[in-house]
């Protein structure tokens, strides 16, 4: 029987604890021989990450607690492991040192890099195979007390504990990749004020007799061209994902004594790459073996096989539409992390020689609820000020309940972070936690999001705080105008850059009745003038403008400037160890609105960085958000503590 109850008050089998236990999906898949290895999060173990390998007897965890395979280069980290001669080499979060452990022995990991003079003084990331007996990686060295006091170089770390500097080309770099003949190394580099999706350079250097690099030369990329991934092909040519024509497509670079030739292997007005937020992301991989000369790459979120000789790009027939940029391949086998609207992210392999048979190697730490409680995302395009705005609509979904006749549901606009990022239609129990209780969610890929080409990405250049706010508001208003959402019960939520857009929308728009603001940017000037980490310290130069020329734009577009105009209740959620958006940002907003009579709450989390990883933090955040919406939208949420709102 169906129970009639107001939207938001529905009971659901999806608990906050269940959503928290799902945590983050696996990542960083790779082949070691014929085995697939990957990194798997443990949200119920303090949010640590372990390395797992697939054996004939099932998954084997290689790093027991408290080892935590994670690093903080650029604060977002990157590839934390590689295998050298069957030995696992990995970065450990607590001290940021590189360790090694033999996977066939019950041995304790041993450190390979020295203990720094200051905590986390050396950081390593993007671990890749190097010359025999060593791994190559990026090293970040802290040189002073400020977040921007860092330098980077490329280093080799041997299994005997020697650290050898290889060279450096730019302020930011990916780890080098060794050519098949061992003569050359290739990597990607860029400098301020560029971000890696703006302009990067692909460089090549000779590997000298002493194992260091000779002078490097730029072979691709440059102004307004982004190279986001590089790999060597078996024939010694270079493969690079780059966008000289406005779309990340795969190119081949052939080096010779006479120079270099570049050829796009499949030109298409669609993205086969993405933003390099973390070091080591992989959107393509050479298939090799009997499939040499063919490549697997991501196309609209799913794998496809590129055959340049035939001029074809053929989708792989798998019922998993959303794959993470963590592709690996060996012969006819493809490995990666895949998900779908009703499937959480898991490590899978696809065997092209066996009819694209799919094997699941990892399983979520919690069981999904029955599919009928999960919303089916509807991809739609709404009219915005600058053109179409893509979005995924997640309607209220619960087979046990219906709303009273004539009642429209509250809807919350979900603003992704980045802002150079995007949302995809995958199962998300934190969204389902809301929709199964009768609260609709619409996730907006506003102008500036990736996945739609450089022109769409560039809509946000110089316009952060304008385009994102307008696009999200246009979607919210459209849902209300068509009768999908209750126009008087619209909310907005987001974290990081999404927290900024949510905060600015709350103080400059009258469309929203509630705003959930998570680890936000509140004061743009404070953020750019030494208030954030080095990687993003000049990000706003492209998103807003240069300083001091455009200083007034920073003031005008900062939520802190407009707190007197705040007209809706707000909930702020913040990690107290956040180095990207420090807690001082959220605290400044709370201090500015306290005592003004506007309902608000501030929930801070000890031990959390940028985004919440601990299960207990995620539970508190979700239950606080639901209670907040209940008090603002006028319904009684079932089974959650009442969040105390101040005024």
Instruction: Express each pLDDT in 572-601 by its tens digit.
Output: 999 999 888 889 999 999 999 999 999 999
Question: What's the number of CA atoms in the CB half-sphere (13 Å) around residue 182?
Answer: 7
Q: Is the dihedral of CA 42, 580, 455, 197 positive or negative?
A: negative
Q: Is residue 392 part of a domain?
A: yes
Residue 34 burial class via C-beta count within 10 angstroms: exposed 0-12, middle 13-18, buried 19 and up: exposed
Q: Is residue 42 part of a domain?
A: no
Residue 430's CB is within 10 A of a number of other CB atoms, namely: 17
Q: Is residue 275 part of a domain?
A: no
Please state, in angstroms and rounded to a whole number, the distance separating the CA atoms of residues 640 and 244: 52
Q: Is residue 493 part of a domain?
A: yes
Q: Is residue 509 part of a domain?
A: yes
Strand 291-299 with 312-315, pairing? unpaired
pLDDT for the residue 502? 98
Q: Is residue 483 part of a domain?
A: yes
Q: Is residue 247 part of a domain?
A: no
**CATH for 432:** 3.40.50.1820
Full residue range of the structural domain in which residue 574 is found = 3-13+369-633
**DSSP character at residue 485:** S
Q: Which residue from 463, 408, 464, 409 is spatially nearest to 437, judged by alpha carbons?
A: 409
pLDDT for the residue 216? 95
pLDDT for the residue 278? 96
Q: Which residue from 507, 505, 492, 424 is spatially nearest to 464, judged by alpha carbons?
A: 505
| SS (HEC) of 618-634 | HHHHHHHHHHHHHHHHC
pLDDT for the residue 181? 95
Question: Which residues make Cβ contacts (< 8 Å) with residue 54, sequence separation at least 6?
Answer: 35, 36, 37, 60, 347, 361
Q: Is 84 in contact with 133 (CB distance < 8 Å)?
A: yes
**DSSP character at residue 195:** -
Q: Is residue 147 part of a domain?
A: no
Please state, in angstroms and rounded to a whole number, the distance separating the CA atoms of residues 10 and 637: 7
How many folded domains does the chain comprise? 1
Task: Quote the tokens at residue 186.
Answer: 């290739």
pLDDT for the residue 529? 83
Q: Please, which residues bridge with residue 262 across strands?
A: 253
Residue carrying structure tokens 């006091």: 149
Question: Which residues make Cβ contacts (< 8 Å) with residue 377, sequence separation at least 6?
Answer: 341, 392, 393, 394, 425, 443
Mean pLDDT by 10 residues, the chain (647 residues): 95 92 88 96 86 93 95 95 96 97 88 95 97 97 93 98 97 98 97 96 96 96 97 95 98 85 96 96 94 94 95 93 95 94 92 92 83 94 95 97 97 95 90 97 97 96 97 98 98 96 97 97 88 88 94 96 95 92 93 94 92 89 97 95 95
- Spatial strand order of the sheet with 81-84 comes to 81-84, 87-91, 98-102, 110-111
């Amino acid at each position: 029987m169906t129970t009639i109850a107001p939207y938001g008050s529905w009971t659901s089998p999806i608990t906050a604890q269940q959503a928290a236990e799902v945590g983050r999906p696996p990542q960083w898949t790779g082949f070691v021989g014929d085995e697939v290895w990957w990194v798997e999060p443990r949200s119920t173990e303090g949010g640590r990450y372990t390395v797992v390998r697939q054996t004939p007897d099932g998954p084997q965890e290689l790093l027991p607690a408290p080892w935590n395979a994670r690093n903080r280069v650029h604060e977002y980290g990157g590839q934390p492991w590689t295998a050298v001669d069957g030995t696992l080499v990995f970065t450990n979060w607590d001290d940021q040192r590189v360790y090694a452990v033999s996977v066939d022995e019950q041995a304790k990991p041993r450190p390979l890099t020295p203990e720094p003079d200051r905590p986390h003084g050396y950081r390593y990331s993007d671990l890749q195979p190097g010359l025999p007996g060593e791994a190559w990686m990026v090293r970040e060295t802290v040189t002073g007390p400020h977040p921007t006091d860092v330098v980077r170089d490329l280093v080799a770390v041997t299994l005997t504990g020697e650290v050898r500097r290889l060279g450096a080309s730019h302020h930011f770099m990916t780890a080098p990749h060794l050519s098949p003949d061992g003569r050359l190394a290739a990597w990607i580099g860029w400098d301020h004020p560029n971000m890696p999706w703006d302009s990067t350079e692909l460089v090549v250097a000779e590997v000298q007799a002493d194992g260091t690099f000779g002078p490097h030369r730029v072979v691709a990329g440059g102004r307004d061209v982004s190279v986001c991934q590089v790999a060597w092909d078996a024939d010694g040519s270079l493969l690079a994902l780059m966008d000289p024509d406005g779309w990340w497509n795969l190119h081949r670079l052939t080096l010779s004594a006479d120079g270099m030739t570049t050829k796009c292997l499949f030109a298409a007005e669609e993205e086969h790459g993405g933003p390099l937020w973390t070091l080591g992301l992989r959107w393509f991989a050479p298939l090799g073996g009997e499939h040499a000369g063919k490549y697997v790459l991501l196309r609209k979120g799913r794998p496809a096989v590129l055959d340049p000789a035939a001029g074809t790009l053929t989708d792989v027939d798998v019922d998993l539409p959303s794959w993470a940029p963590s592709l690996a391949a060996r012969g006819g086998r493809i490995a990666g992390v895949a998900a779908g609207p009703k499937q959480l992210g898991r490590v899978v392999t696809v065997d092209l020689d066996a009819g694209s048979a799919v094997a699941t190697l990892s399983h979520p730490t919690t069981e999904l609820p029955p599919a009928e409680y999960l919303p089916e995302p509807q991809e739609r395009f709404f009219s915005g000020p600058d053109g179409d705005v893509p979005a995924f609509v997640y309607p209220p979904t619960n087979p046990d309940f219906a709303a009273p006749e004539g009642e429209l549901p509250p809807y919350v606009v979900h603003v992704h972070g980045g802002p150079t990022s995007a949302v995809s239609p995958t199962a998300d129990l934190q969204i389902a936690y809301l929709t199964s209780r009768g609260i609709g969610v619409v996730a907006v890929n506003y102008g500036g999001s990736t996945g739609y080409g450089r022109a769409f990405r560039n809509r946000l250049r110089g316009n952060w705080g304008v385009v994102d706010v307008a696009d999200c508001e246009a979607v919210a208003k459209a849902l209300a105008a068509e009768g999908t959402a209750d126009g008087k019960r619209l909310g907005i939520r987001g974290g990081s850059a999404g927290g900024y857009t949510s905060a600015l929308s709350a103080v400059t728009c009258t469309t929203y009745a509630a705003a959930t603001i998570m680890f936000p940017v509140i004061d743009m000037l404070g953020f750019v003038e030494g208030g954030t980490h080095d990687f993003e310290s000049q990000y706003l130069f492209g998103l807003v403008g240069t300083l001091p020329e455009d200083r007034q734009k920073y003031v005008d577009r900062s939520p802190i400037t407009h707190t007197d105009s705040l007209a809706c209740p707000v909930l702020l959620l913040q990690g107290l160890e956040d180095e990207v958006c420090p807690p001082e940002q959220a605290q400044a907003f709370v201090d500015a609105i306290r005592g003004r009579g506007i309902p608000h709450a501030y929930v801070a989390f000890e031990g959390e960085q940028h985004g919440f990883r601990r299960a207990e933090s995620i539970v508190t955040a979700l239950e606080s958000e639901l209670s907040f919406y209940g008090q603002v939208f006028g319904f009684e949420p079932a089974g959650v503590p009442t969040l105390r709102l101040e005024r």
